């Protein structure tokens, strides 16, 4: 699914024909109250209503049922706009006026959030007959959920006469304007905290847009100079109409140099390559790192693809994103097929979406990927360090991802220079149990939570919808809202079975 790896096999073949180069054949936290991050001053908890999704006969749907959908202006003068779908919380308490809204961003670069909506953590999964079945593990059980197709040029989003952005700051500026449009059109939602989430290359998108919002908030409240890593924002940036509650990144690609430096060792530790192949992979990753340090960004990205392709080819892996799988994620392109289906396009036509013959929907845009290609290997970890001074951050990884998994993320997390560095390093990693079994390993200190999920791959909520849902809810309720949470302690084996995703069993060993 991650575009930076799709082209790598072709690149690898080229290098094997031509020859691989160099180879033989604690600081004080600043004014949380000014950021309105959504914590409650008084702890209170009212359990949501019992779920009705699993009751009675399961009925497949032909069409999704979003609360609202359509285009959000980005640059009205140039005709650029992003397409969105919003789903209100299914079981929100009617007297709770600050139910969080979760924004999901897909990676790539150039992959659509609608892929996540229909394959990862949205309300539905796509069936073989292009109907929809309800996903009991959806992340909008007790939260609103927002999917926006970004950057412009992705999915149904309109580019107009605007250029597709080629760097993280420009991507964030466009998305910020789309978010402003959404909350301007939905003023009743402005008081609810926004939680920004994503996976893979969204390990760059999520920190970038979150930091953009943080800096815009800081500018509006007079403390922009206190940010350690400010960026040059346009003078046209308005104060946000909403407030940021926190951010969560799954199996993220955030800091290319440190993550690349362990790529070969991770593959060897998983048994994907032997000691001879390890040396080849280490030579490749050394070349990637040298290119990064030389700021030869596009060449570094291309060589990174070569490295990943070498490991995948040497191990015979269908995908490094979950080395247990016999096929890649959504290898049959069911999401693409559904979003190009006549009945779905008929639903969307009144909102301005053209027919599939005029605008075929694809999960990932090769054009956006190419334009963003030189930006892929640039780090955004310093933005995360700033964010940790003001709000909760969750970094979670599925155990069986050999590309952007546990070792890859652990490497850059421990290089973060933030107020809790020493405390986090010394903190004990605890077992997280669900139904009496260890579901993962949870480590927390101050504003940072890091969670490793057992027996899961790159797309955690897809691989185990129930675990993905419990993970998000536990973190949001405790770290963001300051409320207790114990639903994970009462899960039954029957619920685990009911929530399971048959795709994972079908396509894994």
Structural tokens at position 398:
């599925």
The strand pair at 124-126 and 132-134 is best described as: antiparallel
Q: Are strands 244-250 and 194-199 parallel, antiparallel or unpaired?
A: parallel
CB-based contacts of 55: which residues, under 8 Å, 6+ apart?
none
**What 3-state class would DSSP assign to 233?**
coil
Given 80, 113, 157, 200, the catalytic residue = 200
Annotation says 401 is catalytic: yes
Q: Is 200 a catalytic residue?
A: yes
Set 458, 462, 463, 507: catalytic member? 458
Which tokens in the block code for residue 106?
A: 């897909």
Q: What is the C-alpha separation between 251 and 253, in angstroms, rounded?
A: 7
Q: What is the SS3 assignment for 84?
A: strand
Q: Which of 73, 305, 322, 401 is catalytic?
A: 401
Q: How far apart are CA 157 and CA 175, in angstroms?
A: 11
128 is catalytic: no
Give which of 362, 368, 370, 204 is closest to 302, Cα–Cα: 370
Residue 489: what are its φ and ψ, rounded to 5°?
A: -80, -15
Give whole-number Cα distances, 256 to 8, 180, 350, 470, in Å.
Answer: 16, 31, 42, 30
Report the alpha-carbon distance of residue 137 to residue 216 in Å, rounded.
34
If we measure between CA atoms, which residue out of 256, 399, 254 comes closest to residue 322?
399
Residue corresponding to tokens 């670069």:
109
Phi/psi for 474 (5° steps) reads -60, -45
Query: Can you name the residues that pair with 150 across neighbouring β-strands?
Result: none
Structure tokens at 345: 């396009």
Tokens 């032997």 belong to which residue? 274
Residue count (the chain): 509
Confirm if 89 and 140 have CB atoms less than 8 A apart. Answer: yes
Cβ neighbours for 183, distance < 8 A, ≥ 6 positions apart: 189, 190, 240, 241, 242
What is the CA angle 140-454-438, rounded to 5?
90
Task: Return the structure tokens found at 503.
Answer: 């795709």
Residue 118, sorted as left (phi over 0), alpha (psi -120 to 50) or beta, turns out to be: alpha
Those residues whose C-beta lies under 8 Å from the C-beta of residue 42, and which sit 6 or more positions away, are none
Contacts of residue 10, defined as CB under 8 A and 6 or more positions apart, other chains included, come to none
Please give the positions annotated as active site: 200, 401, 458
């Amino acid at each position: 699914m991650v575009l930076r790896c799709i082209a790598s096999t072709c690149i690898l073949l080229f290098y094997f024909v031509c020859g691989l180069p160099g180879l033989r054949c604690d600081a004080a936290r600043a004014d949380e109250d000014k950021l309105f991050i959504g914590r409650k001053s008084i702890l209170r908890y009212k359990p949501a209503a019992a779920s009705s999704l699993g009751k009675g006969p399961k009925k497949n749907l032909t069409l999704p049922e979003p609360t609202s959908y359509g285009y959000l202006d980005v640059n009205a003068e140039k005709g650029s706009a992003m397409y969105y779908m919003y789903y209100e919380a299914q079981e929100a308490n009617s007297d709770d006026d600050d139910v969080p809204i979760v924004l999901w961003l897909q990676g790539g670069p150039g992959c659509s959030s609608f892929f996540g909506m229909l394959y990862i953590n949205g309300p539905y999964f796509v069936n073989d007959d292009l109907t929809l079945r309800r996903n009991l593990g959806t992340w909008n059980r007790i939260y609103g959920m927002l999917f926006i197709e970004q950057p412009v040029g992705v999915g149904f989003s309109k580019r107009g006469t605007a250029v597709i952005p080629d760097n993280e700051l420009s991507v964030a500026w466009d998305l910020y304007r789309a978010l402003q449009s959404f909350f301007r059109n939905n003023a009743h939602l402005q008081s609810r905290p926004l939680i920004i989430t994503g996976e893979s290359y969204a390990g760059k998108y999520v920190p970038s847009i979150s930091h953009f919002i943080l800096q815009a908030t800081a500018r509006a409240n007079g403390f922009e100079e206190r940010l350690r890593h400010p960026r040059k924002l346009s003078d046209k940036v308005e104060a946000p109409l909403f407030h940021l509650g926190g951010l969560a990144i799954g199996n993220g690609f955030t800091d290319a140099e440190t993550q690349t430096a362990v790529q070969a060792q991770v593959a060897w530790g998983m048994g994907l390559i032997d000691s001879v192949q390890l040396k080849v992979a280490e030579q490749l990753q050394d070349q990637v790192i040298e290119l990064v340090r030389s700021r030869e960004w596009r060449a570094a990205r291309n060589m990174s693809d070569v490295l990943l392709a070498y490991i995948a080819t040497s191990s015979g892996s269908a995908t490094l994103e979950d080395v247990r799988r016999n096929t890649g994620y959504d290898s049959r392109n069911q999401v693409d097929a559904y979003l190009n289906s006549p009945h779905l396009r008929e639903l969307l036509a009144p909102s301005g979406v053209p027919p599939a013959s005029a605008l075929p929907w694809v999960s990932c845009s090769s054009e956006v990927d190419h334009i963003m290609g030189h930006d892929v290997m640039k780090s955004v970890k310093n933005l995360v360090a700033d964010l940790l001074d003001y709000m909760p951050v969750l970094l979670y990884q599925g155990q069986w991802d050999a590309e952007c998994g546990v070792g890859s993320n652990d490497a850059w997390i421990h290089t973060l220079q933030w107020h809790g560095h020493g405390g986090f390093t010394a903190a004990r990693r605890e077992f997280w149990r669900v139904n009496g079994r260890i579901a993962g390993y949870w480590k927390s200190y101050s504003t940072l939570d890091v969670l490793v999920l057992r027996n899961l791959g790159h797309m955690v909520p897809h691989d185990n919808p129930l675990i993905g849902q419990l993970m998000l809810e536990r973190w949001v309720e405790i770290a963001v809202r300051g409320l207790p949470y114990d639903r994970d302690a009462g899960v039954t084996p029957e619920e685990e079975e009911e929530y399971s995703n048959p795709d994972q069993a079908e396509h894994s060993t």
